[in-house]
């Protein structure tokens, strides 16, 4: 087990499930066929040890997150995942680590009917770059620039738990009741199936990776509109509420919940006529769904507390530079 070819063969080669893979990993390029009535969507995300996950994160959790953050981008536009590439840089060939990473990767490929069609394997600080490719019906996608004044703003799941999870991990808080926050950090669930159906009712979505303030801000900028969001409507998980009760003198830290990262929930807009259908869709997918506000004319993003007072955020989302 010395060359990168041995590593690729043993840990990054999986039985190929998809018929649309014409040339799989092993040649200079992979090749796939895209049906004439479909549109191809492509996204990539890098995870670097110490930047995107704490150094002590398990190989299973790293693999899970590397795949899910990419599938979450596909979900944000309503695409069905089809193929992945994996560029990985490893400090050394640690077979125990690779075995665990590979097992989780293989499970996810199977679960989403996705093929790993190529990649690159190099030596260096641990870094994982996944590229995900997906398909959707022609012109049936959700984009950031389609919000309209009067649309309602919805989010899936709960917001901010992963930020609490990161705080718990970095500060070694030993509290079993905060485990759901750590799970939210390490095991995000891309809302793939829900999003595939959501394209029939929404044409504007984003996945929340840098906190709601920043990511809803991207929708507003692209769509040239504003929004009113009600803090009382923001979905907060019970583990997150427990955290504030116990560790923050019962004070909800909205900056923590709305400006950090790693939620991987969807934020999307819906016109009034489609609201009932969207609520029913979330029920069918057993997915918590919250209407948190509405799109307005103008360009301001206002967060309003229960007294109708504005809450402002200066710290809006992680920036690398
Ligand atoms: P080349 O030198 O032509 O770029 P490589 O030596 O980097 O090819 O890789 C050999 C083959 O193995 C290629 O088909 C590539 O896509 C595949 N491959 C390399 N690394 C990975 C990986 N981490 N996961 C999946 N396939 C990989
Ligand atoms: Mg190469």
Name which residue sits closest to atom 16 of ligand 1, judged by CA.
118
Q: How far apart are CA 318 and CA 84, in angstroms?
A: 26
Residue tagged 């009535």 (tokens): 37
Name which residue sits closest to atom 14 of ligand 1, judged by CA.
26
275 Cα to the center of ligand 1, angstroms:
46
Q: How far apart are CA 199 and CA 75, in angstroms?
A: 10
- Which bound ligand lies closest to the C-alpha atom of 121? 1
The ligand 1 atom at the shortest distance from the C-alpha of residue 120 is 20
The ligand 1 atom at the shortest distance from the C-alpha of residue 26 is 14
State the Cα torsion 184-185-186-187 to the nearest 10°: 30
Q: What is the pLDDT along the chain (321 residues), one digit of tens a residue?
A: 668 899 999 999 998 779 999 999 889 999 999 999 999 999 999 999 999 999 999 999 999 999 999 999 999 999 999 999 999 999 999 999 999 999 999 999 999 999 999 999 999 999 999 999 999 999 899 999 999 999 999 999 999 999 999 999 999 999 999 999 999 999 999 999 999 999 999 999 999 999 999 999 999 999 999 999 999 999 999 999 999 999 999 999 999 999 998 999 999 999 999 999 999 999 999 999 999 999 999 999 999 998 989 999 987 766 778
- Please count the other Cβ atoms lying within 10 Å of the Cβ belonging to residue 96: 8
**Edge to edge, what strands does the sheet with 38-48 contain?**
38-48, 127-137, 80-90, 115-123
- Which bound ligand lies closest to the C-alpha atom of 86? 1
The ligand 1 atom at the shortest distance from the C-alpha of residue 118 is 16
- Phi, psi of 203, deg, nearest 5: -120, 15
Q: How far apart are CA 50 and CA 176, in angstroms?
A: 24
Asked whether 152 and 70 are in contact (CB, 8 A), the reply is: no
Q: How far apart are CA 313 and CA 232, in angstroms?
A: 16
Q: How far apart are CA 4 and CA 6, in angstroms?
A: 5
Secondary structure class of 285 (helix, strand, coil): coil
Pocket perturbation via mutation, ligand 1, pick of 15, 30, 119 by most ligand atoms within 8 A of CB: 119
Quote the tokens at residue 70.
Answer: 């990419």
Q: How far apart are CA 188 and CA 129, in angstroms?
A: 17
Q: Where are the alpha helices (DSSP H) in the chain?
A: 4-11, 59-77, 95-112, 161-170, 179-186, 192-198, 212-223, 238-247, 254-259, 275-284
The ligand 1 atom at the shortest distance from the C-alpha of residue 87 is 23
Interior CA angle at 246 toward 244 and 250, to 5°?
45
**What is the Rg, in whole angstroms, of the alpha carbon atoms belonging to the chain?**
20
- Which bound ligand lies closest to the C-alpha atom of 28? 1
Name which residue sits closest to atom 4 of ligand 1, judged by CA.
28
Name which residue sits closest to atom 21 of ligand 1, judged by CA.
119
State the Cα torsion 173-175-179-181 to the nearest 10°: -50
124 Cα to the center of ligand 2, angstroms:
14
11 Cα to the center of ligand 1, angstroms:
12
Residues enclosing ligand 1, CB less than 6 A?
8, 12, 25-28, 86, 88, 116, 118-121
pLDDT at 1: 65
Q: Which residues contact 283 (CB under 8 A, 6 or more apart)?
A: none
pLDDT at 139: 87
163 Cα to the center of ligand 2, angstroms:
35
**Edge to edge, what strands does the sheet with 265-270 contain?**
204-208, 265-270, 152-156, 289-296, 226-230, 301-304, 310-311
pLDDT at 315: 72
């Amino acid at each position: 087990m010395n060359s990168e070819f041995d590593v690729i063969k043993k840990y990054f080669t999986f039985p190929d499930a998809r018929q649309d893979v014409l040339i799989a990993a092993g040649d200079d390029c992979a090749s796939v066929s895209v049906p004439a009535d479909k549109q191809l969507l492509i996204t990539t995300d890098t995870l670097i040890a110490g930047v995107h996950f704490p150094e002590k994160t398990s190989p299973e959790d790293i693999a899970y997150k590397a795949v899910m953050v990419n599938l979450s981008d596909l979900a944000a536009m309503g695409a069905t995942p089809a193929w992945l590439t994996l560029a990985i840089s490893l400090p050394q060939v640690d077979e125990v680590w690779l075995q665990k990473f590979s097992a989780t990767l293989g499970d996810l490929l199977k679960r989403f009917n996705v093929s790993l069609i190529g990649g690159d394997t190099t030596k260096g600080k641990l870094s994982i770059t996944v590229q995900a490719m997906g398909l959707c019906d022609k012109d049936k996608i959700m984009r950031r620039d389609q919000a309209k004044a009067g649309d309602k703003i919805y989010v899936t799941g709960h917001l901010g738990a992963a930020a609490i999870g990161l705080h718990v991990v970095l500060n070694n808080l030993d509290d079993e009741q905060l485990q759901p926050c750590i799970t939210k950090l390490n095991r995000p669930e891309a809302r793939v199936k829900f999003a595939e159906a959501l394209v029939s009712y929404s044409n504007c979505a984003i996945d929340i990776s840098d906190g709601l303030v920043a990511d809803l801000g991207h929708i507003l900028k692209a769509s040239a509109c504003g929004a009113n969001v009600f803090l009382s409507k923001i979905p907060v998980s019970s583990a997150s509420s427990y955290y504030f009760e116990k560790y923050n003198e019962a004070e909800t830290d909205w900056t923590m919940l709305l400006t950090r990262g790693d939620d991987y929930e969807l934020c999307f807009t819906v016109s009034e006529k489609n609201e009932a259908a969207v609520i029913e869709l979330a029920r069918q997918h057993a997915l918590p769904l919250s209407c948190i506000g509405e799109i307005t004319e103008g360009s301001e993003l206002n967060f309003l507390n229960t007294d109708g007072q504005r809450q402002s955020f200066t710290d809006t989302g992680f920036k690398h530079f």
